[in-house]
A and B are shown apart, each in its own frame.
Chain A
C-alpha cells in the first residue's frame, strides 16, 4: 500500500463538472445552427454568437431541459461510470464487492465506494422493494453546494436538475459494468437533497 494515488485539486473537478451543462447546451445549439445553415445554405457564414461565455446566462437557454442536452450529459456520465468502476476495483482487489456480486451488494458499492470517490461522502440512504427497484438518497448533493440562483429557490432547482443526469449516467454505467441494465430517474426531493430511482432488469 505504499503506492500513492495521484491527485489533483478538487476544484478542478468541480469546475469541470459545472461546465458540462453549459457545454452540452452550446454543442446542441451549434449543431442545430449548422444544420439550419446547411438547409438554408446561407452565405456568408453566420458567426456563432458568443453571448454565453463567462456567465450563467446560458442556463436560461430553452435547450436546458432538451432531450439533446439530457442525452449528452447522461451519456458522458455513463462512460465515466463504466471506467470509474474499473478504476475502483483495480485499485482495491480486496473490495467486498468482488466476494459477492448480488445486486444489493452492487448498490452498496455504489452508495459507498463510488459516491465517496465522486463526492467525498457516502449516499445517505438506500431503499429497496427486493424486487429490482432501488432508491438511493443523498441528503446534500455536493455538486449543488455552490449553486444558488439570484432569482429564487425554484429557479435554482430548475437549473440544477440537468446536473443530475451526469450522476444518473454514472450509476447506470457502474451497474452496466456488472452486467446490470437499468432505468434511472433522478429527482431533487428537497434541495439539496436528491434521489435516484433505479429499476433493474434483475
Chain B
C-alpha cells in the first residue's frame, strides 16, 4: 500500500502541482521570522506562538487544496493518517517525505523526522544562547498540521521536540492524537 501512495504522490508532484523556486519560499519565510523576532524583541515564546497561529490559518486553507489535488479518501486509522501526512501531504507541498517513527504503544502518538526541511535551508539562528533554547524556527509547521488535521476531524497536539538548527541531531515533530471530532458536515456529504 505504501508503494502505491508514494508512486501516486510522485505523480501528483510531477504533473499536477504548480511549483516555485524553493529558495524564494525559504527566504520569504525567513524574512517573516526575522521580522517577528525584531517586533517581539527576541521574546521567542511569543514568536513561536505567532508562527503557530499563522500556520493554523494556513493549514485550514491548505487542506482544501490537498483534497482537491490528491483526492485522498478517509483514513482508516491514525497510522494511515501518519503515512498520508508524510508521504502525500509533505510530499505534495514541500517535496520532502519525513520518516514516520517512534509510535507509542497506544498508537496515538508518533514522530515525524525531517531529514530535509525546506523552511530552514541556509538558516542560522540569532547569535544568542536563548534563541537556541527557545525559538522553534519552523514552528509554522505545528500550526499547519493542527489546522489541516482539524479540518478532517482530527484534533491533534503538535510540537517540535528537536531541531538541527539548535544543534540537535535531527529535526523531530511529535504528533499526538487528542480525539476524533464529531463530523459536522451537512447530511448527504461524505
A-to-B contact residues, CB < 8 Å:
5-13, 15-20, 22-23, 26-27, 30-31, 53-54, 72, 75-77, 79-80, 83-84, 87, 117-118, 120
Contact = CB atoms under 8 A, between A and B. Distances in A.
Contacts of A76: 31-32, 35
B119 to A, nearest CB: 9
Which of B21, B39, B65, B147 has most A Cβ within 10 Å? B21
A16 B93 CA distance: 12
Given A8-B22, A12-B93, A79 B58 contact: no
B36 to A, nearest CB: 7
Contacts of A23: 32, 36, 50, 53-54
A10 B22 contact: no
Nearest to A79: B31
Contact of B28 (A53, A75, A80): A80
B35 A5 contact: no
B47 to A, nearest CB: 10
22 contacts: A8-B22, A8-B25, A8-B95, A9-B19, A9-B95, A10-B19, A15-B58, A15-B61, A16-B29, A19-B54, A19-B57, A19-B58, A22-B54, A53-B57, A72-B35, A76-B31, A76-B35, A79-B30, A83-B27, A84-B24, A87-B21, A120-B18
Contact of A6 (B22, B31, B61, B147): B22
B84 interface: no
Nearest to A80: B31
B62 A87 contact: no
A5 B21 contact: yes
In order of increasing CB-CB distance, the 8 nearest A-B pairs are: A6-B22, A10-B18, A7-B19, A79-B31, A9-B93, A83-B27, A15-B58, A10-B20
Given A23-B50, A54-B56, A76-B35, A17 B28 contact: yes
